[in-house]
Amino acid sequence: MNNKEIYVTRPFLPPLDEFNEYLKEIWNNGILTNNGPLHQRLEQELADYLGVKHISLFSNGTLALLTALQTLRITGEVITTPYSFVATTHALWWNNIKPVFVDIEPETCNLNPQKIEAAITPKTTAILPVHVYGYPCNVKEIQKIADSFGLRVIYDAAHAFGVKLNEKNIVEFGDLSVLSFHATKVFNTFEGGAIICHDEATKKRIDHLKNFGFENEITVVSPGINAKMNEVQAAMGLLQLKYIEDIIEKRKILSNLYKKYLKNISGIRFLEDLKGVKHNYSYFPIFVNEKQYGISRNELFEKLKKEKIFARRYFYPLISQFPIYRNFDSAEQGTLEVAEKITDQVICLPIYPDLEPYIVEKICNIIKINSKS
Ligand SMILES: *Cc1c(COP(=O)(O)O)cnc(C)c1O
């Protein structure tokens, strides 16, 4: 029986030979960064894969988020979700913007559009929702609210690479979408990220902002930052793209396996596939209802750890529960009640392309033997 440590994720690594070929190309070119040939090729290939016209690559997703907010000159207050990775809110903080947390929906764990309006003030300029676990937000309702109140929408699509909603890639929605290509994500470039926008002028502005604001050799048009993707990252991206459909298919098989084994355990809930959505199976969250299941989320988490299964509690605590953001908590009491409940129930189980099916079975057996049913 297996006795090695199993982590929540493992990056997909393409064959080393193929990566070496790209390294040779980089050495031959003598170009390491600054919109090099591989960078240009990856932008083109990603645009084709995602079915979008304009994409700008970044050294990581957090800098892409910071730059997205700068691109649209977002200020004042921004409505966002407390149920995400901290980088979502940090990006607001670094732009001197006040985050206003709004509750989520239990079915998708995403921002609840019905609760947005009550959080809008004269200072609100944008909505920053997250497609958590790659599950699409209610993009239609969110856009409707944004349109009636004159707000911009920037999606944190860090989890949602390759996800489609009714045949449209999820990054087509909103004013801007931001991807992360961090090692732990479905598609990785070691570290990396991107902004997707919808017109040439915005693409230009983003490209200036990520390169110190340079328009040309002697003209600086904005107080830009250095957030450029380098050629080694781009090489990794080109190889990931070659294998991406296989990566997602393998994740789907494992996700279905989890569902098969877990479906009859009382007190264990998981997310179902949504109609009209092509999922990427980036995470496999389960939600432990302590009363029905018998033991708490934290107890199950520890039991798994004892068996060397290192699951993760994404997302616990809520961003709004971190001391640095507590003062920004919504003024109305109890408005984050769904998020507060889910953050205490969630465990993300290991899922990655070369996770062996018998490990999934083993994990589900541990979950089963600890249930009271
Ligand atoms: C990973 C992640 C980010 C940050 O991306 P990096 O590439 O790691 O900087 C932002 N938001 C969410 C929701 C993430 O999961």
Decide: 230 in ligand 1 pocket, CB within 6 A: no
DSSP 209-247: HTBTTEEETTEE-S---B----HHHHHHHHHHHHHHHHH
In which element (H, E) is residue 56 found? strand 54-58
130 pairs with which residues across the strands? 156
pLDDT tens-place string over residues 69-91: 999 999 999 999 999 999 999 99
Q: According to CATH, what is the number of the domain 16-102+109-239? A: 3.40.640.10
Distance from the CA of 193 to the center of ligand 1, in angstroms? 8
pLDDT tens-place string over residues 112-168: 999 999 999 999 999 999 999 999 999 999 999 999 999 999 999 999 999 999 999
Decide: 202 in ligand 1 pocket, CB within 6 A: no
Atom of ligand 1 nearest to the CA of 62: 9
Distance from the CA of 58 to the center of ligand 1, in angstroms? 12
Q: Which CATH class is domain 244-369?
A: alpha beta
Q: Is the pLDDT of residue 371 over 90?
A: yes
Structural domain boundaries of the chain?
A: 16-102+109-239, 244-369
Q: What is the C-alpha to C-alpha distance for residues 192 and 179, in angstroms, rounded to an integer?
A: 8
Chain centroid to CA 201: 26
Decide: 156 in ligand 1 pocket, CB within 6 A: yes
Sorted by sequence, the CB contacts under 8 Å of residue 9 that are 6+ apart come out as: 184, 350, 351, 352
pLDDT tens-place string over residues 322-366: 999 987 655 544 589 999 999 999 999 999 999 999 999 999 999
Atom of ligand 1 nearest to the CA of 192: 7
pLDDT tens-place string over residues 189-225: 999 999 999 999 999 999 999 999 999 999 999 999 9
Decide: 85 in ligand 1 pocket, CB within 6 A: yes
For the chain, the first-to-last Cα distance in angstroms comes to 26
Q: What is the C-alpha to C-alpha distance for residues 227 and 71, in angstroms, rounded to an integer?
A: 13
pTM above 0.95, yes or no: yes
Q: Is the pLDDT of residue 373 over 80?
A: no
